Structures are given as structure tokens and as C-alpha cells.
Amino acid sequence: MNPPHHPYRSRRSASALTGTIAVPGDKSISHRALMFGALAVGETRITGLLTGEDVLRTAAAMRALGADVTHDADGTHGEVWRVSGRGIGGLTEPEDVLDMGNSGTAARLLCGILASHPLFAVMTGDGSLRRRPMRRVMDPLAACGARFAARDGGRLPLAIEGAREAMPLDYRVPVPSAQVKSAVLLAGLNARGTTRVEEPEATRDHSENMLRHFGATVRVEVAGHGRIIELDGQPELKAADVVVPSDPSSAAFPLVAGLLVPDSRLTIPAVGLNPLRTGLFACLAEMGANVAVRNRRLEGGEPVGDLDVSAGPLRAIDVPPERAPSMIDEYPVLAVAAAFAQGTTRMRGLKELRVKESDRLSATAAMLAANGVRVEIEGDDMIVHGTGSPPAGGGSVATHMDHRIAMSALVFGLATTDPVTVDDAGFIETSFPRFIELMNGLGADIRPA
């Protein structure tokens, strides 16, 4: 049975958006904290964990593999999550199918872990995840000795029989993907010898940082735009406390709303500012956005800062392809900002957007086109023609089970002339619980349609 749809509509409210919005924990770091905690010896305590559905799937999978995962009280932001790990190689065979829901990160990273554990597991996901390519992890992981069987085209559900004695991999990642890099590194944790991963373009390095934080030896060498990463196999991972910063990819939505809704002034505290995640901030600065970073500091080993945003005019920019890995999840909402900017914005090299929770290149273009914006896709580039005035709006947006399309469209409708409707806001729960309530708390008008 398909879950019910939750259509919502956002409209321009009479007032500006004002106040402070606490954005939930970083999704990438949250998945990894639970996974590394499950592979470590001792109790890992996590604060600020994202409690969106994607991360809860990872928590459930780690429990199914024998780790003890608990949380205080209701488990919301500020609560402590505790993971009692099994040690590397110590996970146990799950009794049932592992359902990773909507989460590509959970599914692909888990493939890496399972590849070097001598056990059998079956993995599935929702309609969106079952369409996404898994061969990008299955192929390299098979070389360490794991055996996979999957649906045609390398799609979930898949079955995996992990290697008894995993071989360390030496792999050049063919697409810029932190998920693939991380899957190979995770497999390498239980392989004897050194695992080496070469990435032609640097992608988010949360796995490398957190592996070190848990006591593994990781060497990173910068090579052109990319990096070479080496991990010494079979370390003893020791439980460590993790403080999860607010997710810059989630902060992007109130941030862009604050820029577009006239007279708005917002503060977004403790946002993760890892340099491999901040491409959107660079773009917005080039567009002339009023975003100031205050109180830069390190929290749990990651740089964070408080963002102050105020509304103002934006100008079009040309976004170079090499910026894509540092803002891969932010293009839909950048395209929304571009629709309000003066001039033509070109975003280059967006091939990877086609294999996200939806084909985000098409979904983003369709969102804008349905609401009076002139937009084109040329090869892997997206071109948005802004006039410097608010687009018409008035259209409906198909979200294709994609949380970021839903949030981008709802932000869009807060500043278009007429309201924007989305067919299903339900998937926002995967990454940003209480998004609508928090936005409305700032003065937004987002309601069931």
C-alpha cells in the first residue's frame, strides 16, 4: 500500500520572516555516528542527532545487527543517544530484511559495513530508493570478496553475503560520491591491510574525520581537486562522544526563505561549516546575499557558526562544475533563489542530481516552469532566467518522494506572487522534522492544501 499523500501550500504572508530557527542535526554525520558507534567498543554518546526517518532507519538497522541503540526521553534535539558497539567484525546476522526507507546514505554505507562481515543480509527501501543505482557500491565491494545479488540494473532489494576474510581495496571512485568513498572505507575497517581510495574531486569528509575521532589511522593526501585516502585495517575503534552540528543542507531552506521574503531577518545557530559542505554559501555570497557568519567555533571536531540572514536583491551567477560536490544537495533551493535574482544563472555539471531521491535536475526545472520561471536544461547544466521580480507562482509541484524538492517548493511559494502547492510534504520527515511548524513560527504561511 502506498502511504497517504500530504499536499501543502505555501503563500506570501503579510509579514516578514523573523526570529531564530534551530535546524536539526546533520544527516550525514548522524548516520555515521550511529554506524561507527555500532562498530566501536564501548558506549558512544551522541547529542544533536537528527531524528528524521532516514537516520531512524540507520538506528533500526544497527539494532538489527546486534548493537544496542537507545535514547533518553523522546530523542529530540538535545537528547542523548547511546550506542553500545559490537567492535569491528562483531555485528551479528539480521533476522529479517533491513528496510532503509528513503535513505541512499544509509543503504550504501551499510553495504560497505556488511561487505566485510561474514553474514547474510537482505536490504530494501521505499519506492524512491528502489529506483536508485546500487552498482556504484556493489562493484567495488565485490572486489573485497563480498557477494551481491540485486534486481536488474543493480537496484534494491539486494542480498549480500559478506566476505569471511575481506581483502583491502584500492579503488578510484569514478563519480564524485561521499557515499561510495565511505562504503569502501567502511568495508576496509574489517580488512587486513591498508584500504586506499582515490577521489578525483573532494567530497564531504565526515567519514574520514569520524574514523579518526574513533581512533582509526586515516591518511589524507590532497591530489589536484581530489584526495587520496588511506585507512589501516582492523583498528580497534573506541567509543567516542559525538556532537552533531546543525545540517547546512537543512539550514539552506530557511536561509533562502530569509533572503527572498521582503524585510526578513533570521538567525540560524550552530550550522555546520565543513568546507566540503559550504558551496551554497559561496554562491549566495556571489549573488550579493546578506548572510553573515558569527561566532565561528569547533564543535565535536567540526567547524560551526551562527548565520544571520536578511532579505535583499540577488544577482545571477555562473556556478562552476567543480563546486558541485560541496553543495550537491543544495541545487534545488539555489535554483529557487536564482528564480528571484536579476539575470541568468547557470549551474554547471549537475549529472549526479539525476540519481538523488528523485531526478532532481528534472524535478527542479519542472517546479520552476510550473510557476512561471523560464528554465532550461542543457546537457548536465541548469539555466534559470530571473527577472529580479517575484515569479508568478500559482502552480503545483510534483515532489517525487523527495524531501528537498518539497522544501524548496514550499520556500519558493513564500515569495512568489501566487501560492505554490506541493503534492506531498510527507517526505520532509526524512531530514527535517517539524520543518513546517518551525517555518510558520518565523511568520511563514504553509498549510495543508
By annotation, the residues acting in catalysis are: 329
CB of 377 to ligand S3P, least distance (A): 19
Which residues have CB under 8 Å from 10's CB, separation 6+?
A: 409, 410, 411, 412, 413, 414, 419, 420, 444, 445, 446
Pick 21 or 134: Cβ nearer ligand S3P: 134
Q: Are 35 and 280 in contact (CB under 8 A)?
A: no
Q: Are 107 and 134 in contact (CB under 8 A)?
A: yes
Eight-class DSSP state of 23: P
Pick 232 or 352: Cβ nearer ligand S3P: 352
Taking each helix axis from N to C end, the angle separating 135-142 and 178-188, rounded to the nearest 10 degrees, works out to 30
Phi/psi at 289 (5° precision): -70, 150
Distance from C-alpha of 38 to C-alpha of 110, rounded to nearest angstrom: 11
CB of 432 to ligand S3P, least distance (A): 13
Q: Are 166 and 89 in contact (CB under 8 A)?
A: no
CB of 267 to ligand S3P, least distance (A): 25
Pick 65 or 178: Cβ nearer ligand S3P: 178
Eight-class DSSP state of 3: P
Pick 105 or 274: Cβ nearer ligand S3P: 105
SS (H, E, C) 220-281: EEEECCEEEEEEECCCCCECCCEECCECHHHHHHHHHHHHHCCCCEEEEEEEECCCCCCHHH
CB of 443 to ligand S3P, least distance (A): 29
Which residues have CB under 8 Å from 437's CB, separation 6+?
A: none
CB of 27 to ligand S3P, least distance (A): 7
Residues that bind ligand S3P (CB under 6 A): 28, 105, 177-179, 182, 204, 328-329, 352
CB of 179 to ligand S3P, least distance (A): 3
Pick 60 or 119: Cβ nearer ligand S3P: 60
CB of 17 to ligand S3P, least distance (A): 25
Strand order in the sheet with 68-71: 68-71, 80-84, 43-47, 242-243
Pick 140 or 413: Cβ nearer ligand S3P: 140
Pick 304 or 414: Cβ nearer ligand S3P: 304
Q: Within 10 Å of residue 145's Cβ, how many Cβ atoms?
A: 19
Distance from C-alpha of 292 to C-alpha of 312, rounded to nearest angstrom: 13
Strands 170-172 and 194-199: parallel
Question: Which residue shows C-alpha cell 544571520?
Answer: 308
Of 61, 52, 62, 63, nearest in space to 27 by CA: 52
Q: Are 247 and 255 in contact (CB under 8 A)?
A: no
CB of 364 to ligand S3P, least distance (A): 14
For 16, the grid coordinates are: 516578514
Pick 94 or 248: Cβ nearer ligand S3P: 248
